[in-house]
Copies of this chain bind each other. A is one copy, B any other.
Amino acid sequence: MPMLVSELAPRIGAELLGHGADIEVTEVCALSEADAAGLSFVSSKKHLSALRATRAGAVILTPDLAAEAPCVCLLAVNPTLAFARAVELLHPRRRAPAGCHQSAVVAASAAIHPSASIGALCVIEEGVVIEAGAEIGPGCVIQRDSQIGADARLVAAVTICARSIIGKRVLLHPGAVIGREGFGFARDGERWVRIPQIGRVRLGDDVEVGSNSAVDRGAIGETVIGNGVKIDNLIQIGHNVEVGENTAMAACSGISGSTRIGKNCTIAGAVGMAGHLQIGDDVHFTGMAMVTRSFERSGTYSSGIPAMPSADWRRNVARFRHLDEMARRLLRLEQQVAELQDARRPVPDLSDGEKKSDKTA
């Protein structure tokens, strides 16, 4: 969708630099692959050489970089945010048509807003409520008594289990499973007896859940994902977990049951968290962190051993197995060296007999 940059700028929170610089752009591009109809952006000085070499017609950047740009400049305090808006304007998403596809199986008791779209081969069970503007892509299953908020979008092949509550503008990707009966068992001798999971999942507004991720329902009560939480692909959220607003979690992470995570946290990829932990606001975990205790204080936490050549790794790991012993040997050595030092000091003192006072100094 072609647009004049003069028209685009105010709509993305940017300012067009200079006069007579009005050009038309038709698409967004990477700096290195843009042509004269392309709009690009620079988010950091790391990309300065790409900026200087770009053939883009226009670029979004912070004012301090404008002098380096060989093209029309759109100035923004937060170029990434302005760019996100520009992508939306230049590449508007095609909305699915309102109404139920004839191949969908929709229970008579389901209440579907006329402006909502139900795709091909969806199953909408009894008691489901789907609000205005929601788009349910092909192949989704929404089990009984669930609610889908206004303008939510289920891309395709999403499964919503019974009684789940999905907020407004939620985005769920293919393969996501919301509201599964969680992993709760009682022991009966050696056998495991399932504890029926009678709670539910509540996803706040503007939540996103990625492909093949699973958010389990509460055992009793709710699993609560706060407004604005972003969950990437292949993530497991156990029963009764609570995640605070605007926390973001990268792919392959797993959060065990009943853990509470605060607001504005970032959880990098493949992080594992034990159950029943308390994680405060503004807590950040780096990739593959192993979280075995609560971290209530804001900060960045890490664990794991970064990869190294396997031969080095084998040698170091072999030593790790004896690290406690090494620490004990180190301590003993310190004592022995202290004794040796003590013993040495008196040597020149032998002649003056002040040994004791020296030792306690």
A159, A216, A307: which has the most chain B beta carbons within 10 Å?
Answer: A307
The distance from the CB of A261 to the nearest CB of chain B, in whole angstroms, is 13
Q: In the complex, which residues of chain B have a beta carbon less than 8 angstroms from the beta carbon of A33?
A: 220-221
Whether A326 contacts B319 by the Cβ 8 Å rule is yes
Whether A344 contacts B341 by the Cβ 8 Å rule is no
- The copy count of this chain in the complex is 3
Q: In the complex, which residues of chain B have a beta carbon less than 8 angstroms from the beta carbon of A252?
A: 236, 252, 254, 272
Q: In the complex, which residues of chain B have a beta carbon less than 8 angstroms from the beta carbon of A263?
A: 190
Whether B138 contacts A141 by the Cβ 8 Å rule is yes
A30 at the interface (CB under 8 A from B): yes
Q: A214-B211, A272-B288 are in contact. Are A233 and B233 (CB under 8 A)?
A: no
Q: Interface size for chain A: under 10, 10 to 19, 20 to 34, or 35 or more residues?
A: 35 or more
State A295–B305 Cα separation when bound (angstroms): 15
Whether B333 contacts A324 by the Cβ 8 Å rule is no
Whether B321 contacts A210 by the Cβ 8 Å rule is no
Whether B308 contacts A321 by the Cβ 8 Å rule is yes
Q: In the complex, which residues of chain B have a beta carbon less than 8 angstroms from the beta carbon of A329?
A: 330, 334
A148-170 contacts to B, CB under 8 A, are 155-157, 159, 161
A283-324 contacts to B, CB under 8 A, are 285-293, 295, 299-310, 312-324
Q: In the complex, which residues of chain B have a beta carbon less than 8 angstroms from the beta carbon of A359?
A: none
Q: A180 touches which one: B211, B293, B324 (CB < 8 A)?
A: B211
State A221–B316 Cα separation when bound (angstroms): 39
Interface pairs A-B: 6 shortest CB-CB: A315-B324, A159-B174, A302-B313, A252-B254, A81-B186, A80-B186
Add 18 more A-B contacts to A88-B196, A291-B306, A303-B313 (CB < 8 A).
Answer: A29-B220, A85-B193, A105-B121, A123-B156, A137-B143, A191-B228, A211-B214, A232-B236, A251-B254, A269-B272, A292-B306, A299-B310, A302-B310, A303-B307, A316-B323, A318-B324, A330-B330, A336-B337
- Supply 7 A–B pairs (Cβ within 8 Å), ascending by A: A156-B159, A174-B177, A190-B228, A216-B233, A234-B236, A300-B310, A302-B309
